[in-house]
C-alpha cells in the first residue's frame, strides 16, 4: 500500500463517475460544511424502512472528500443509520492510528485507502464529512 496522502487509489476513487447531484423527490436533503477547509456536501437521500434506497450528492471539496464521498455513495445503499455509524466509527478509529477494521465483505473495503490520512490530523474532517452528511440526513 502506498503511504502517500494522494496515492493512486485515492485519485481513482475521486475520479469515479459521480452519482446524480440531486434526487427529484428526496425524503431528506442536507448541506454539511467543513469550516476548516471549505469542503461542502449537498446530499439527498430516499429511505425505505430506515434504509437508504437512493443517494445523490454534490461535492465541492478536496480530493480526499470527493474520494470518501464516492465510497459512501456506493456503499451506503441498503444500509441503516446504525450500519453507517459503525462504518464511520471504524474509519475514525483508523484515522486515529488504530488497526484498520476488517471491512472485507462489507462494501466499505475502499476505506482502507484512507489509512495514510491518519498521519495528517488536519485532513481527517475531509474524509469523514461524507459520513457526517449522510448521518445528518438519516
Per-residue model confidence as pLDDT tens digits over 5-21 = 778 899 999 998 777 88
Residue 1 is assigned to a structural domain of this protein:
no
Residue 3 is assigned to a structural domain of this protein:
no
What's residue 1's pLDDT?
A: 43
Which segments of the chain have a pLDDT < 70? 1-3
Number of domains in the chain: 1
Residue 2 is assigned to a structural domain of this protein:
no
Copy the grid coordinates of residue 12: 481513482
Range of the domain at 27: 8-137
Neighbours of 78 (CB within 10 A): 11
In this prediction the pTM is 0.92
Q: Looking at residue 18, which CATH number applies to its domain?
A: 3.90.1010.10
What's residue 3's pLDDT?
A: 58
Let me know: does 61 contact 40? Beta carbons within 8 Å. yes
86's CB contacts (< 8 A; 6+ apart) are none
> What 3-state class would DSSP assign to 112?
helix
Amino acid at each position: 500500500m502506498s503511504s502517500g496522502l494522494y496515492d493512486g487509489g485515492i485519485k481513482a476513487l475521486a475520479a469515479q463517475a459521480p452519482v446524480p447531484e440531486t434526487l427529484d423527490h428526496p425524503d431528506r436533503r442536507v448541506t454539511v460544511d467543513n469550516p476548516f477547509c471549505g469542503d461542502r456536501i449537498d446530499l439527498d437521500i430516499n429511505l425505505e424502512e430506515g434504509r437508504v434506497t437512493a443517494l445523490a450528492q454534490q461535492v465541492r471539496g478536496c480530493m480526499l472528500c470527493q474520494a470518501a464521498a464516492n465510497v459512501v455513495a456506493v456503499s451506503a445503499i441498503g444500509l441503516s443509520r446504525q450500519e453507517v455509524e459503525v462504518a464511520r466509527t471504524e474509519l475514525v478509529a483508523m484515522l486515529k492510528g488504530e488497526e484498520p477494521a476488517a471491512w472485507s465483505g462489507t462494501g466499505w473495503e475502499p476505506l482502507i485507502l484512507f489509512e495514510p490520512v491518519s498521519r495528517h490530523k488536519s485532513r481527517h474532517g475531509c474524509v469523514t464529512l461524507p459520513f457526517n452528511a449522510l448521518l445528518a440526513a438519516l
